[in-house]
Amino acid sequence: MMNSPTRRRTDVAARRITATDIALMATFAALIIVLGGVTVPVGSLGVPVVLQNMGVALTAMILGWRRGTIAVALFIAVGFVGVPNMAGWKPALAAVAGPTVGYVVGYVVSALVIGLVASVAPRQHLARTVVFVVAGLLGVCVQYLCGSIGLVFRTGMDFAGALASNAPFIPGDVVKVVVAALIAAAVLRAVPDLVPSRRHAGAVQ
């Protein structure tokens, strides 16, 4: 059984943001921005099909809830200084001024949810992949919820109608979740030290 001083050192190390963590968060924030270049308009509401939500899911699955949420928040924050970071290379300021504001907020909330669920995934590859898929699907539900609330406030739609407007996105989002889960599980299998607790635990042994 681990003695209490060692356990305390492990807990402190696990909470510390290292230079490696900062580099990883910046890298994944940049990845999400790059994925914003892939966008396909759907329906009449101006909410496009994008790959950014797959990037958000991938980030949270690999980096965990804390680093993943920070990375997603960083991705959004740079748009407030004029960087074209959202779908279609629009800055976040433009996105939050339109009907997509709820989806922007949903990115951060879903990263937190996905990261928390993914953090309980076992090390076994198949089981981890399944948990990641579940985490990603929950994240999609969070995005739909936040996005629908945004549509209600921005367009005057009733909530049921706003929620139903997400239906065309469901098949594509399910595919993106599965792809993200497969990639994330493969990455963590190849580079297990990306899991924060494992890396820091090794450092104090």
Q: What's the predicted TM-score (pTM) here?
A: 0.84
pLDDT at 39: 72
Provide DSSP, 73-94.
Answer: HHHHHGGGGT---BGGGB-HHH
Q: Check pLDDT > 50 for residue 1.
A: no
CB atoms closer than 10 angstroms to residue 186: 13
pLDDT tens per residue, range 131-179: 999 999 999 999 999 999 999 999 999 999 999 999 988 999 999 999 9
pLDDT tens per residue, range 78-123: 998 888 998 778 888 888 888 889 999 999 999 999 999 999 999 9
Q: For 20-47, what is the mean pLDDT?
A: 83
Contact 32, 56 (CB under 8 A): yes
Please give the domain boundaries of the chain with CATH numbers for all domains.
4-197 (1.10.1760.20)
